[in-house]
Amino acid sequence: MATRINKYLSEVGYCSRRAADRLIEKGKVTINGKIPEMGSEVEEGDQVEVEGQRIEKSTKQKNIYLAFNKPVGIVCTTDRRVERDNIIDFIKYHTRIFPIGRLDKLSEGLIFLTNDGDIVNKILRARNNHEKEYIVCVNRQINKDFIQSMTNGVEILDTITKNCFVKQLGPKKFKIILTQGLNRQIRRMCESLGYRVQSLKRVRIMNIKLDVPTGKYREFTKEELLKLNRLLKNSSKTFD
């Protein structure tokens, strides 16, 4: 049975479909020695390579799901040649995994890592309305107008951010729960209102809370994974 090349790379645990599409666009993937077009399919017996490395399906691949507390300074990339302070070299996990989504270099907190490419888009797609919770400190005192503006939406990146939950926790500290994932969204929202983020920590993704020390990771519990799959059941599926 033929499988689209991006789905193939996802199913073997090499990377997410989104990351696979980027590799294909850059011409780094070959099927039987030829660079494929987007949407090309892999047949039984085809030889798939990424940057010259043979990629094969494992007959019994165990799905891995990790909750990692990313420190400030670590970059959420699997490209180890480009970024020395990358998340993969920091964790040194014994088999190939990749992050679900991103936290920028100056941010810290919860990020998932997995070898299950099919789960990635279901978690990341904004229309699925999956919550991500952050604790943020800014450079000067916040007020009701700031909280109201953040809640109702701020103009960034040629769009208005979706309504979200925001609660003040201190003079310069607040909690925000997003179902969106725009590039550096919270930092850009604050900058649009004349504030600068001094610290940003993600403390929850959907039903899984941050509960490990900085720089450490743990596997999802069976209960967490069951609940996560229930929450994802009605989510938009990844591309076929």
Q: Which residues are catalytic?
A: 104
Calpha distance 233→114 (Å, rounded): 18
Calpha distance 192→184 (Å, rounded): 12
Rg over alpha carbons for the chain, rounded to the nearest Å, is 19
Torsions phi, psi for 157 (to 5 deg)? 50, 40
Would you say 232 and 65 are in contact if contact means Cβ atoms under 8 Å apart? no
Torsions phi, psi for 20 (to 5 deg)? -60, -40
Nearest to 111 by CA among 127, 91, 128: 91
